[in-house]
Chain A
Amino acid sequence: MKKNISLETVSSFILLLAGFLLFWEWIRPLEQITDTGSVHLFVIYTAICFVTSFLTRNGWAKFVIKSFSLLFILDYLFLDATLLSHEWIQTLTLELRYNLAVVWENDWALMTSFFRSFLFLLLLWLMSYLLHYWFMVANKFFLFVVLTFIYLAVLDTYTVYDAQLAMIRTFVVSFLVLGLSRYVKLMNNVDTTDRKKHVWSWMTPVLVIVLFATILGIYSPKLNPQWPDPVPFIQSTAGHVGFSDGPVQKVGYGEDDSQLGGSFVEDDSPVFEVIAHDDIYWRIESKDLYTGKGWERSKELDFQELTNGSVGWSTFSQQVETSSYSAEVRPVNQNQLPKVVYPYGINRISSLGQGQDLFFSDREYGHIEFESSEQNQNLSYNIEYDAPSFEINELRNNSNNDPEDIREQYLQLPDSLPERVSELALEVTEGEDNRYDKAQAIESYFSTNGYVYQIEDVSVPEEGEDYVDQFLFETKVGYCDNFSTSMVVMLRALDIPARWVKGFTGGVEAADQPPLPDDYSLYEVTNNNAHSWVEVYFPESGWVPFEPTSGFTNPTDFYVETSGDVNTEDYMIDDEETEEESEQESSEEEQENEPLNPAENENEVGGANNEEEGNDGNYYWIGAVLFILAILATIIYRKRTELRDWYLLKKWGRLKERLEIEASYVYLLEILEKRGMPRTKGQTLRQYAKEVDQRLGTSEMYDITLAYEEYLYRDQTSSSKDNKRLQGLFQQMIDQILA
């Protein structure tokens, strides 16, 4: 008996200790996320409160101990005078008086740290009281455990606090304590003699399971965050739409591409408007150094001032056919995009503002920036450009004589690039003998081989993993960065100089069009239109843009010269997907608007290749079947009671015909059990019948049972059968049960 008491004490001590450990997890982050120092003192105070609550039930004793230790801590932290000396009391009253006045005035910020610590200690006191009540008196742990997890998750998400270890600690402590508390609750109904016996037969599996789960949890591979960091999303919803940079995972133009991958959230906040003749691509810059994780520049940017806004360089050679246009760009918010976006073939740029604005450009990477003299930073500018049209046969006939500097800069690949990437590149381009056809083959490879466009659930390469390799062979899902980077890397692996280009797609025609000359429209470009694509170097023609991303169409003109008559406007070949052209053009707008819909893209991919279509079709079928099965399962689950009753009634219908008392009675026991009134093992039929009648408010069960007993135990020669009456009783009983 003595042992049992000590056992209870031990278990309640463990529960309280667990409560303290969990509460500690609440205090622990304070050091990092607030300017609170001396967290250890607060922890000590909490421990004192817990221990006091455990040791004594005397309310006065508890009060005295807790308030004195509170004073001690305050004295230690803030008061120089000897404890309880005259001076000490004076300081204390002064502090209290001042702070109460401050509180009265609602000048919370003026409170002294003495008073804040005092209030915090009071809060700890209160919390320890509450937890003691929850854990020891009410025996409720689950709520606090859940709250702790939520607290840690929120802190980990929104603050600098790294709750990884805290989570593990909390997991172990809370599950052990839940197991133990369950045991304590169970033991309340058990003879005292049996209690001790079961402690270890209960706690051993609890320990083993918790430890196993913890170790498994720690060492098992984990998915990357399944949804993007909520902080930028919340910020963007709150209106702080900014120049997305660094780790911000939001669709939009960003400068840092050294670590590609990860999911994105859509962001349709507008970046700029353009008046242009077509929804052409808007270039911002190119990058040349692939690191295995992302893109960097191999050279420093070198900005030169543009004289009279004339851009002294071009991405393609002068042999290329061009047609002249002009466009007007109006950034919505300069802070968001401190760069000039420009179309291929830019000649001149001029600001539309009043002041004298300066433009600078970097030739190598194609950056154009400006310095506005105006206060209003939203500078609009006009661009004159000669849009190139590439003649396909000319591209095919380009030599392979790349200049040495181009080869040096645009064939760089990391040593860590897996062999299979170049093997795939060779395989894809097998049978192509010229640079254009090879680029074409790679460009169309993705869309015809099941690579899926999506911005959610895109993984980031792990340590030692290659971004391109991961996309090509492992995940096969991604967005423009995946497609374009892969194409560049594959081309380089084939010794074809190529570079990675960033910018925006053409955007959507605005709903309200201002009066404009013919062929010109106002386009709205949003963060969703941020894009990246590929430029391939052709020694005679210069850099030619390619568009490998599934679901996107290269807006650049390609044409084949027929019978010497150059007619670029009439005869256009768009990549290889000529047959797709009309279909795509009609859905272009929609697509630009929602380039993120993977299903739609996949659909179009399917259109390009019949074999693929069959494959996709299969997936749809499987999906549809699974969906229907899921719905059926849900219906069955929700209607399970009705279905069971239906089945039981049907069974009764068959039994009724046969007039078999035994089968009927067994059936009755079955439905009673299914209705949550099972007969316990040692219960006699009579005891059970009484219980059932009491619960259902019936009397038939007892009558039936008497009759059944007679059938079961009486000498059959003397038993009298009144089947009609019995059948009636059965029917009534079953109606009652299933009612």
Chain B
Amino acid sequence: MKRCAGPLKFLVVEDEPLISMDIEMMIADAGHQVIGTAATLDEVQAMSQEQELNVALVDLHLARGSSGFDVSDHIQMRWPGAIIVFVTANPSEIPEDFGGAHGVIAKPFSSAGFVSAMQYLKEGICDPPPVSPQPGSFVASKAFAASWGAN
């Protein structure tokens, strides 16, 4: 079942500007669209209500003491259909249920690892279940597989 009409709409929540830029460009390379970037929870909250969102990539340790878990909670409230993927150097801090989020890409990621994670995400969102095997760079939570049955 094909679900995605156009490119996927991404939000990047990352407080390191260079890493954020790099991620934005890799998302664009994969044919998707970055609709916003944020370095804190406030900036995510300040985003337009109207904005459509498919995938949020969220760092855990954000600027000014913001936590990626709070960002994840906020996104789940505001964009209930969005897929949330943590991008973090501390994957061990993530609870077993991922706090409702859908997966994690551990830092430091390699170029190839990030690209294959993007591919797997796209397959899981647009045409589930994914045909590619789950790459080593991406660990999905139960919520990701659960989202395949939705809609």
Chain B binds chain A: no
Binding site for A on B (CB under 8 A): none
